């Protein structure tokens, strides 16, 4: 079996370019990202609010979201995890893509100033405020089986079924449910790859604000994270506020912090042109 190897010069040139990208990505060039957003969350100007929804513990919700609008997701009464999925409103085959999100930004740890990518190399959300940085891209949501293991004997609502319901009511199916972003889930990975719940990363009343960078449909499930150490199933209500975020400034953090986000927004611009 023949295999024509690439020339040592080609390989060396590509390696050098990769290492340059890697250095910038790991050393936060061009911009260092800011500290978490302050608590408590400041009030949103009433005139900017389009809708406010309280999702009861254990339930799901979905909403349309236009480019330039934002969502504040607020724990309100204390610790809870919110699973989030999203689709491009005009082509639902374009959707949240967490594997690209973590790979291109060189980190599984999201926080203020980071962006969330679709599978088409475009930015879906900018994280414009975030009080915790305690989010989970890896573990997914609860299922009937994970609830049965964690809360034996009880029949409780779970994120998998919630998202099948949310997708179903949008004319989508289980084929369309992407990997899930868990907001307010302080999951970290140890050196052997094991998952740990770093509760210290979370604060009571944490909030995150996601600005839409394209027209979207967003789905939520409000169920305890499978790794949440609380043995009692008692998810608190979460408050989701949809509001007009205003046009991003010239030096908008999410648009200028990393080389990857810059190129992602260039891909967004070509969609809008």
Partner 1 sequence: MTDFINTSASRSLENAVQDHFIPAEAPWSGIVRKGQTIRIEDSYGQQAIDTLFYRADDFAERYSNQDTMRTQGGAYIGTGTKIISNEGNVMLVMIADSCGRHDTSAGACSCESNTVRFGHGTKYLHACRDNFVLEVSRHGMSKRDIVPNINFFMNVPIKPNGEMTIVDGISAPGDYVELVAEMDVLCVISNCPQINNPCNGFDPTPIRVLIWDGED
Binding site for partner 1 (CB under 8 A): 1, 3, 5-6, 10-11, 14-15, 17-18, 21-22, 25-26, 92-93, 95, 97-100, 102-104, 106-109, 117, 119-122, 137-141, 143-146, 160, 173-180, 188-195, 226-227, 260, 263-264, 266-267
- Residues in contact with 232: Cβ distance below 8 Å, sequence separation at least 6, in sequence order: none
In whole angstroms, the minimum distance from the beta carbon of 168 to partner 1 comes to: 12
Closer to partner 1 by CB, 112 or 242: give it: 112
In whole angstroms, the minimum distance from the beta carbon of 115 to partner 1 comes to: 10
- Residues in contact with 231: Cβ distance below 8 Å, sequence separation at least 6, in sequence order: 150, 151
Q: What is the distance between the terminal CA atoms of the chain, rounded to a whole angstrom?
A: 47
Closer to partner 1 by CB, 137 or 238: give it: 137
Other C-beta atoms closer than 10 Å to the C-beta of 31 total 13
**Residue of 239, 261, 243 lying closest to 251 (CA atoms):** 261
Closer to partner 1 by CB, 49 or 170: give it: 170
For residues 122, 125, 131 and 133, what is the CA-based torsion angle, rounded to 10 degrees?
A: -40
Closer to partner 1 by CB, 102 or 218: give it: 102
Closer to partner 1 by CB, 140 or 235: give it: 140
Closer to partner 1 by CB, 159 or 241: give it: 159
In whole angstroms, the minimum distance from the beta carbon of 144 to partner 1 comes to: 7
In whole angstroms, the minimum distance from the beta carbon of 211 to partner 1 comes to: 18
In whole angstroms, the minimum distance from the beta carbon of 273 to partner 1 comes to: 14
Q: Tell me how far apart the alpha carbons of residues 228 and 262 are, in angstroms, rounded to a whole number.
A: 35
241: β partners: 52, 72
211: β partners: 70, 126
> What is the residue-wise DSSP string for 144-182?
HHHHHHHSTT-----HHHHHHHHHHHTT--GGG--PPEE
In whole angstroms, the minimum distance from the beta carbon of 43 to partner 1 comes to: 31
């Amino acid at each position: 079996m023949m295999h024509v190897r690439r020339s040592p010069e080609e390989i060396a040139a590509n390696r050098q370019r990769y290492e340059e990208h890697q250095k910038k990505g790991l050393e936060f060039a061009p911009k260092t990202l800011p500290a978490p957003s302050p608590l408590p969350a400041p009030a949103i100007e009433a005139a900017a609010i389009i809708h406010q929804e309280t999702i009861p513990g254990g339930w799901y919700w979905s909403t349309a979201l236009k480019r330039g609008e934002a969502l504040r997701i607020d724990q309100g009464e204390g610790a809870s995890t919110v699973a989030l999925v999203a689709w491009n409103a005009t082509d639902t085959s374009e959707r949240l893509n967490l594997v690209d999100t973590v790979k291109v930004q060189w980190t599984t740890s999201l926080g203020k100033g980071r962006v969330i990518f679709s599978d088409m190399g475009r930015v879906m959300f900018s994280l414009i405020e975030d009080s915790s940085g305690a989010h989970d891209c890896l573990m997914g949501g609860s299922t009937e089986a994970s609830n049965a293991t964690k809360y034996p004997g009880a029949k409780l609502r779970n994120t998998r079924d919630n998202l099948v319901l949310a997708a179903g009511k949008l004319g989508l199916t289980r084929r369309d449910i992407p990997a899930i972003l868990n907001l307010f889930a302080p999951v970290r990975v140890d050196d052997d790859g094991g998952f740990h719940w770093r509760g210290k990363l979370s604060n009571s009343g944490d909030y995150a604000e996601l600005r839409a960078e394209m027209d979207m449909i967003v789905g939520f499930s409000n169920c305890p994270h499978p790794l949440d150490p609380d043995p009692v199933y008692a998810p608190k209500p979460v408050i989701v506020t949809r509001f007009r975020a205003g046009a991003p400034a010239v030096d908008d953090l999410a648009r200028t912090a990393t080389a990857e986000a810059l190129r992602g927004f260039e891909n967004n611009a070509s969609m809008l042109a």
